[in-house]
Amino acid sequence: MKNIITTVFIVCFVGIKCFSQSKSVEINDGIKTQAAASIQANYNEYKKIALQIWNYAEVGYKEIKSSALLQKTLSDNGFKVQMGVAEIPTAFVAMYGSGKPVIGILAEFDALPGLSQQATPEKIPVAGTDAGHGCGHHLFGTASVAAGIELKKLIDEKKIKGTIKVYGCPAEEGGSGKVYMVRAGLFNDVDAVIHWHPGNDNGVTMTSALANSSAKFRFKGLSSHAAASPDKGRSALDGVEAMDMMVNMMREHIPQETRLHYVITQGGRAPNVVPDFAEVYYYVRHPKRDIVKEIFDRVVKAANGAALGTETTTEYEIIGGTHDLLLNKTLAEVMQKNLERTGGVTYTAEEVEFAKKLQTSFVSKPPAIDSAAKVKPLKTEADAGGGSTDVGDVSYAVPTVGLRTATWVPGTPAHSWQAVACGGTDIGIKGLIVAAKVMALTAIDLYTNQTIIAKATEEFKKAKGDYQYKALLGDRKPALNYRD
């Protein structure tokens, strides 16, 4: 009897559960179709915003107009915007709704110096300008704002419940903007964070990022006439060159996954004046943050050794520091379904012509143009990538998931004039729209199915273990002038 009752109970319980699940899928399906259609319907509006930011092309921490435009778009749509968060004038948090769950969406908007380029398939800079959106952050910020606005509409219509926070994240390119935002505790009440990045294909991120420490090493020497009295001078540039020489020799004796790179940002002004000041800007990267710390200490030793040998002095300023990216498979699987549902980017005949022309400028053989329309399968195993991102620090604060979409013609590398060119055309905007849809759809799943966040949080805690987050850039204030 007891068994029969138990069986009846199980059948009923499972039956109800199945019914409620299929019902929730049905409800979701309708909401998702509505959200995607609404984003598509606002294509021209988002295009206008993205192209405006593309034209502004403001570099890290100088994104005054770009940030203001995104803030205005959000506040015009009813978001409460807190600006100047984490002691960064261009950082903001825009909030709508109330209660749990709290879903965060990251928005970036900084450009890169030296990449000025028109929206043409040939290399033509925009006269009188220097920076360009070589990483597509104008698309990034706009798509995230679009997703946020769409979710707000659904909260208003009582189709989803909870809070949406759009994070305006400045200076991703080397400025580590999000690290200060994490350090300021701005993600403490968030259940999950969604982000994306422009790319040349469509896929959900299952590739981590390299931890990164960067610093500017400044050498001081003594000026004198380089020909008449060279013995009376000490060259700060010698200090920089001796340091670079030692670091380049060091490459043989560091783990092979390491990435070390530098640019000499100041090396004197005139050959006949012994330079009394020189500066070199270094990045040290490795998949593991502890190894980054070790190698960075060795780079500092090279700087000190160089100063000793050239009778100059040196000091350094930490500029940036980011963690590796903690992946979350639970969230990635949810996002993958929404990406497959949305699909990639298809080109018009005119866009195919643009793409063909652009591809002739690549040094390696590009993938097929129609690969922009395809969606990559989800990688079953995570791997380490070649780049770094300050999203890494966010991923140590809260379960995080991201994707990339084909905003650039297949084969286009990031940080290139070709990426800037694509970002100024409808090819880029179409990728933006795909990203906005996938992020909104993924958030809908998180708002309507509590079990996903619970499972993602469990996975997050397990991956993080007992590691106590500590920013790699220490307690320094935001490097607001790092692009000067």
**What is the rounded CA–CA span in Å between residue 103 and residue 191?**
6
210 near Zn ion, judged by CB under 5 A: no
Pick the piece of the chain touching Zn ion (CB under 5 A) from 128-136, 301-309, 390-398, 404-412: 128-136
| Residue nearer to Zn ion on the CB measure, 135 or 406 | 135
Helix or strand or coil: residue 365?
coil
Pick the piece of the chain touching Zn ion (CB under 5 A) from 133-141, 269-277, 345-353, 425-433: 133-141
Instruction: Give the shortest CB-392-to-Zn ion separation in angstroms.
Output: 13
| Residue nearer to Zn ion on the CB measure, 334 or 439 | 439
| Residue nearer to Zn ion on the CB measure, 135 or 453 | 135
135 near Zn ion, judged by CB under 5 A: yes
| Residue nearer to Zn ion on the CB measure, 146 or 307 | 146
Instruction: Give the shortest CB-87-to-Zn ion separation in angstroms.
Output: 23
| Residue nearer to Zn ion on the CB measure, 39 or 135 | 135
| Residue nearer to Zn ion on the CB measure, 135 or 456 | 135
Give DSSP secondary structure letters for 380-429: SS-EE-S---THHHHHTTS-EEEEEEE-S-TTPPSSSHHHHHHHTSHHHH
Cβ–Cβ under 8 Å, residues 95 and 80: yes
Instruction: Give the shortest CB-172-to-Zn ion separation in angstroms.
Output: 6
Instruction: Give the shortest CB-415-to-Zn ion separation in angstroms.
Output: 8
Instruction: Give the shortest CB-201-to-Zn ion separation in angstroms.
Output: 15
| Residue nearer to Zn ion on the CB measure, 36 or 169 | 169
Two tokens at 320?
């940036």
Instruction: Give the shortest CB-142-to-Zn ion separation in angstroms.
Output: 14
Residue in the shown chain whose Cβ atom is closest to Zn ion = 135
| Residue nearer to Zn ion on the CB measure, 31 or 204 | 204
Stretch 78-117: interaction string toward Zn ion, x if CB under 5 A: ----------------------------------------
**What is the rounded CA–CA span in Å between residue 109 and residue 77?**
19
Site size for Zn ion, by CB under 5 A? 1
Instruction: Give the shortest CB-107-to-Zn ion separation in angstroms.
Output: 12
**What is the rounded CA–CA span in Å between residue 331 and residue 341?**
16
Pick the piece of the chain touching Zn ion (CB under 5 A) from 51-59, 111-119, 127-135, 468-476: 127-135
* CA distances to 12, 18, 432 from 5, in Å: 10, 20, 55
Instruction: Give the shortest CB-198-to-Zn ion separation in angstroms.
Output: 7
Report CA torsion sign: 127, 128, 133, 137. Answer: negative
| Residue nearer to Zn ion on the CB measure, 148 or 199 | 199
**What is the rounded CA–CA span in Å between residue 204 and residue 438?**
10
Report CA torsion sign: 64, 65, 68, 69. Answer: negative
Residue type, 356: K
| Residue nearer to Zn ion on the CB measure, 135 or 306 | 135
| Residue nearer to Zn ion on the CB measure, 328 or 407 | 407
Residue type, 38: S
**What is the rounded CA–CA span in Å between residue 184 and residue 178?**
10
Pick the piece of the chain touching Zn ion (CB under 5 A) from 131-139, 242-250, 401-409, 469-477: 131-139
**What is the rounded CA–CA span in Å between residue 82 and residue 10?**
50
Backbone φ and ψ for 107, nearest 5 degrees, come out as: -130, 125
| Residue nearer to Zn ion on the CB measure, 134 or 221 | 134
Instruction: Give the shortest CB-173-to-Zn ion separation in angstroms.
Output: 7
Report CA torsion sign: 141, 459, 374, 410. Answer: positive
Instruction: Give the shortest CB-417-to-Zn ion separation in angstroms.
Output: 15
Q: Which residues does 8 contact at the CB level (< 8 Å), separation at least 6?
A: none
Pick the piece of the chain touching Zn ion (CB under 5 A) from 94-102, 130-138, 249-257, 286-294: 130-138
- Find, among 217, 222, 333, the residue nearest to 266 by Cα: 217
Per 3-state DSSP, the chain is made up of helix, strand and coil in percentages (nearest 5) of: 45, 20, 35
Cβ–Cβ under 8 Å, residues 147 and 452: no
Peptide bond into 101 cis (omega under 30): yes
Instruction: Give the shortest CB-156-to-Zn ion separation in angstroms.
Output: 32
Cβ–Cβ under 8 Å, residues 63 and 69: no
Instruction: Give the shortest CB-75-to-Zn ion separation in angstroms.
Output: 25
Residues that bind Zn ion (CB under 5 A): 135
